[in-house]
Amino acid sequence: MSIANVPVSTLADMFGTPSYLLDIADLRERCRDVVAAATEAGEQHGIETSVYYASKAFSSTAVLRWAHAEGLRVDVASLGELVTALRADVPGHAIGLHGNNKSETEIDLALQHSVGRIVIDSLSEIDLVAERARAAGAVAPVMVRVTTGVHAGGHEYIATAHEDQKFGLSLATGAAAEAVTRILAAPELRLLGLHSHIGSQIFAADGFVEAARALLGLRSQVAASTGTLLEELDLGGGFGVAYTPDDEAPDVPALISELIATVARVAGETGEAAPALSFEPGRALVGPAMATLYRVGTVKPVRLEDGGERLYVSVDGGMSDNIRTVLYDATYTAALASRRSDAEPVLARVVGKHCESGDIVVRDVMLPADIHRGDLLAVPVTGAYGRSLASNYNQLPRPGVVAIGDGEPSEIVRRETIEDLLALDLG
């Protein structure tokens, strides 16, 4: 197997395993396609559009530079993500600050760099942001994150717009409308519009359309009661990707074009000018652009209760570099990457080296029966929430990220060493 024309065996020799391998051209093309689709559909319907890369999926200065160079803005949700975006020279106006529990430090730094928007997540945050803006002598551009009640997406932990969870202001209880009223009355705040993020790993348009209808309804209600027609709606991220050949993931640029056309039509029905629209994909941009490369160690056949057999293939990482299988029951696939094998495929499970039986990277996959110690195994689509959710469980150093341009590999995030871990240990 090669990535961007470099054999993975060369990459393993140069950078070690496990490593996350990023195909730069693939990432940039995904970014470019999404921006082009949004711009084109926007122009067609007279709607201004912008796309934010949700940097929680994977945050590094190199990736943010590439994303920004392709026309994306950057969504950050912590001080670390904000500082990384600034370090990548993303201008403040192209940054959006999220978070359900923003600190004063985060808000202050955001204001100092005149970020494009701060997304308000609670009523109490209205006073907090207004107070910090007053102290900074600034007017803060804000949006209101609305809980629309739409339930979409994969696992319960990544669905975010139903009522009983921590994000946003409820449309149903009137909290969102109250937030709008309070913000409009605050001279330190400028209300740009309404935001909705309904969840992650979503394959269909309906949830987004339902959320957009809800936001448009609130926008009309605000216009009727205050005379202010809000400029912008943000429909969030959550666009799904195919982790295995069984997943029928959407064509994300096409889905975004469709959403823009739908919002233009629905807004047209109200007789009001269509709002500007923004989106915040993370996974769909960086997920498929990376694979994790592991070295195979112990291979062990295990007899199953039904008399069958499963080959347990242990790799040199595991739940510390990919927690998604355990946390969300996520499915992945894997392939022998360092040689060709004509051995018959057998039912296998890729497991890590951690001290838990739940340490599973790929639950079910067919691998050649002759797979053995020293082989390289690649697990694709690990770019989103792989490195960013990684841990040091069992004192494992987190893998580095190697980015490959055509034939040119270089490490964009260095592999941790045990000395890095011990440097934090004060004895």
Site residues, ligand LLP (CB under 6 A): 54, 56-57, 75, 98, 158, 197, 200-201, 236-239, 280-284, 324, 328, 384-385, 389
Instruction: Report CA dihedral (226, 232, 233, 239) to the nearest 10 degrees.
Output: -170
Q: CB-based burial of residue 342 (10 Å sphere; 0-12 exposed, 13-18 middle, 19+ buried)?
A: exposed
Q: Which is nearer to ligand LLP, 226 or 331 (CB)?
A: 331
Minimum CB distance to ligand LLP, residue 308 (Å): 31
Q: What share of the chain is helix, strand, coil (3-state, %, to 5)?
A: 35, 25, 40
Q: Which is nearer to ligand LLP, 203 or 385 (CB)?
A: 385
Peptide bond into 18 cis (omega under 30): yes
Question: Helices 123-136 and 104-112 sit at what angle, rounded to 10 degrees?
Answer: 50
Bridge partner list, 375: none
Minimum CB distance to ligand LLP, residue 102 (Å): 13
Copy the structure tokens of residue 208: 């987004």
Minimum CB distance to ligand LLP, residue 309 (Å): 31
Quote the CA–CA distance of 196 and 263 in Å, as a whole number.
14
Minimum CB distance to ligand LLP, residue 255 (Å): 12
DSSP class of 271:
T
Q: Which is nearer to ligand LLP, 312 or 328 (CB)?
A: 328
Q: CB-based burial of residue 227 (10 Å sphere; 0-12 exposed, 13-18 middle, 19+ buried)?
A: exposed
Minimum CB distance to ligand LLP, residue 170 (Å): 16
Minimum CB distance to ligand LLP, residue 88 (Å): 18
Secondary structure class of 394 (helix, strand, coil): helix
Copy the structure tokens of residue 17: 């395993």
User: What amino acid is encoded at 213 in this protein?
Assistant: R
Q: Which is nearer to ligand LLP, 236 or 368 (CB)?
A: 236
31 is catalytic: no
Task: Determine which one of 269, 271, 304, 355 is catalytic.
Answer: 355
Minimum CB distance to ligand LLP, residue 96 (Å): 9
Q: Which is nearer to ligand LLP, 167 or 312 (CB)?
A: 167
144, 194 in Cβ contact below 8 A? yes
Bridge partner list, 23: 404
Q: Which is nearer to ligand LLP, 55 or 338 (CB)?
A: 55
Bridge partner list, 144: 120, 194
Quote the CA–CA distance of 120 and 245 in Å, as a whole number.
39
Among 363, 365, 361, 281, residue whose Cα is nearest residue 70: 281
Q: Which is nearer to ligand LLP, 188 or 321 (CB)?
A: 321
CA distance from start to end of the chain: 44
Quote the CA–CA distance of 243 and 249 in Å, as a whole number.
9
Q: Would you name the residues annotated as active-site residues? A: 355
